Chains A and B, each alone.
Chain A
Amino acid sequence: MPDLEQEASETLHHGGKGRFFMRFTREQRALHAVLFTTFLGLAATGLPMRFSQSFWARRFASAVGGFGSIIFFHKLFAVALTLAFLVHLKAILQRGIVNREKGIFWGSTSMVANWKDVKDLVGHLRWMVGLGPKPQFERYAYWEKFDYWAVFWGMIVIGFSGYAMWFAPFFARFLPGWALNAVLVIHSEEGLLAILFIFSIHFVNTHLRPDSFPMDMVVFTGVESEEEFKHKRTQEYERLAREGKLEARVADAPAVWFTNFSKVVGFIAIFIGLTLLVLTLSAYFI
């Protein structure tokens, strides 16, 4: 990890709250920022199309300049997200294949699911209903891996079906006619799944649950406190301590202004997300 702080000192930290540890690189945080910005934009412009008959769709569309501008912004966000996806894909392949970095495609630091994730899921569920101890998680817990792969798969499916609609006559050269009907169903259902999942389950699992309430700042600041690290990702903490790599992960405490700025941005994002969630549900029940 190139931009991890090598030196750390207790005296550097604000308020003497203890040490902070690096979890996400600047590139990873930037990717998340681009991802949630474009995702909110795509959701906000996609939902009025999906629920074009609902009471708010037309009002919202008119407010931003009617359908013409809705589709323009939808395509704009789509292109931005596609680029971000390609940049991420390149980074992964670069690290895993060209640089032969360990732990990208397999192992305890990888995003790829393994047998421990299955055991963790079962153990976690047993713990929830009081049938066993709480499992200890590694760098990425099973629900985080699910989030990652859901988005990964979702971007391929939604992206492909979206471009098929955008350039329908071109895609019709090698797709059968009924596929043009199917891509809208796939695009809108998969989009709806992403919206419902992110704005309810991801929000709660990652940000709103008691351990992280009201927001897990690590994805903005990149660092978390030793206490939080130990508590949330015990196995990773212990592994690093065992391997003597813990010190290498120690980082500066985040600047106060940056934490506050991130909170504002994060709360706006969560507020927009929850608003869109309510509007989506209202389209079904009102």
Chain B
Amino acid sequence: MKTVSSITLVLVAAALLFHAAPAAAQKSAECLACHADASMQDAAGHSITVDESKFHSSIHGSLECANCHATIKSYPHPDKVTPVKCDTCHADEAAGLASSVHSASADHPCTSCHGDAHSIFPKTDARSAVYPLNVPRTCGNCHSNEGMAQKHGLASVYPSYIDSIHGFALSKEGLLVAANCQSCHGSHKILSQKNPLSATYKTNIPNTCGTCHAGISANYAGGVHGKAVAAGKLAAPVCSDCHTAHAILQPTESAFRTQSTPICGSCHKEKFSTYRDTFHSQLGALGGYVETARCWDCHGAHDVLPASDPRSPIAPANLVKTCGRCHVGANESFVQYQPHANAHNRKLNPALYFIRLFMNLLLGSVLTFFMIHTILWLIRSRYDQVKRKSAEGEKNA
């Protein structure tokens, strides 16, 4: 094409806004004369076909080829063409991406998430790769393979997510409001969880989850953990420490009930150890019966408060009610039971300490005495038996 009408020129200029109009842009129809051919391939064997109808229905359908492929000005064009610069129009997104964990653009071109450049749809369109219901699969293209773990030290999160309560709501129920990857991580400006600006940085997680779980987020903020985190004590747990980040389970599910007590125990070591000595733990550890009291059944889950706080479920005045949730008929005497008694601590639990000591001594003395008794008896009996047999043997001989 040698001549271009001045009208076309003006239109292209308007469409590209800030971009200097190519001196000799081509009409899309002319490009499609070749690129509509479904068998068209480049030297490396990649398809360079453009489906015209699909392209026209896409969000960029009103643009001319040259609007994006701005360096191609004439035909024939060189075999190698400059990659399209999306940031010409999408400057904010490009800036966000540049500061994100995906900034190495060679590995993460826009198309790696948005799909084929010629069939990009708005994120509200079910055909879009970034439509809420499609986001996990799109991110999962990379974040579901073991290579990610080796290359970046990142766990393969897609399988955990898709089996989680969020993943289930999204993939099975098709809930648009179910959290997908970008609900927590953002889209273009995804930052490492180590970055204080990241939505997944420890202190920001309660707010991030609170975007949807507003009620629980408020409860959490009033509890000891929420206050500690707000005061900068990063050892205190946020949502993801107990619920995990991706494999989030329904808290009433038996798997969650069995896995989460050790999570509390990873900080509350002493309390966890004494809990393990009780029937609550012994029952719970065996599975198949998950109703037994776990930490939060007594202490509360989000708004954990010390026993000294009258609002706490373990405040002395509330114990009959709290224990009574499982133990029908619990009374004042019943709730004197100590769910964290330590039979090895003479000062805290003197009665229990001496009872344990007595039982241990009883066990030790009975077993030791009879062990010696039995061993001596065995040796002597065997000695007599052998002597008797050899005597009989001599008699026979």
**Chain A residues at the B interface, C-beta cutoff of 8 Å:** 48-50, 52-53, 57-58, 61-62, 65-71, 124-125, 127-130, 143, 150, 165, 168-170, 172-173, 175-178, 180-182, 184-186, 189-190, 192-193, 196-197, 200-201, 204-205, 209-211
* Surface stretch bound by A, among B126-134, B136-144, B357-365: B357-365
Starting from the known contacts A143-B373, A192-B363, 12 additional A-B residue pairs (CB-CB under 8 Å) come to A53-B285, A62-B288, A67-B287, A67-B292, A125-B373, A173-B331, A178-B337, A180-B334, A181-B343, A182-B352, A209-B374, A210-B381
Residues in B whose Cβ lies below 8 Å from that of A204: 374, 378
Residues in A whose Cβ lies below 8 Å from that of B328: 169
Residues in A whose Cβ lies below 8 Å from that of B337: 168, 172, 177-178, 180-181
Contact A205 B377 (CB under 8 A): yes
Which partner residue on chain A sits nearest B329 by CB separation? Answer: A169
Which partner residue on chain A sits nearest B292 by CB separation? Answer: A67
Within the complex, the shortest CB–CB distance from A214 to chain B, in Å, comes to 14
> Which chain B residues (273-309) contact chain A, with CB distance < 8 Å?
276, 278-279, 281-289, 292
Contact B289 A189 (CB under 8 A): no
Known interface pairs A57-B286, A66-B288, A168-B327; A201-B374 also in contact (CB < 8 Å): yes
Q: How far is the CA of A57 from the CA of B283 in the complex (A)?
A: 11
Number of interface residues, chain B, beta carbon within 8 A: 50
**Chain B residues at the A interface, C-beta cutoff of 8 Å:** 276, 278-279, 281-289, 292, 327-331, 333-338, 341, 343, 349, 351-352, 355-356, 359-360, 362-363, 366-367, 370-371, 373-374, 376-382, 384-385
Q: How far is the CA of A130 from the CA of B381 in the complex (A)?
A: 11
Selected from A49, A168, A193, the residue in CB contact (under 8 A) with B334 is A168
Residues in A whose Cβ lies below 8 Å from that of B379: 128
Within the complex, the shortest CB–CB distance from A132 to chain B, in Å, comes to 12
Most buried by A among B328, B330, B362, B363: B363
Residues in B whose Cβ lies below 8 Å from that of A205: 370, 374, 377
Contact A173 B333 (CB under 8 A): yes
Contact B282 A49 (CB under 8 A): yes
Contact B286 A177 (CB under 8 A): no
Which partner residue on chain B sits nearest A65 by CB separation? Answer: B288
Known interface pairs A172-B331, A181-B349; A57-B370 also in contact (CB < 8 Å): no
Within the complex, the shortest CB–CB distance from A201 to chain B, in Å, comes to 4
Contact B334 A70 (CB under 8 A): no
Q: How far is the CA of A173 from the CA of B374 in the complex (A)?
A: 44
Residues in B whose Cβ lies below 8 Å from that of A185: 343, 352, 355-356, 359
Q: How far is the CA of A120 from the CA of B272 in the complex (A)?
A: 50
Contact B287 A189 (CB under 8 A): no
Closest 8 CB pairs of A and B: A66-B288, A177-B336, A67-B289, A172-B334, A169-B329, A189-B359, A61-B286, A52-B285
Contact B283 A49 (CB under 8 A): yes
Which partner residue on chain A sits nearest B385 by CB separation? Answer: A210
Q: How far is the CA of A181 from the CA of B341 in the complex (A)?
A: 7
Residues in A whose Cβ lies below 8 Å from that of B282: 49-50, 52
Contact A209 B289 (CB under 8 A): no
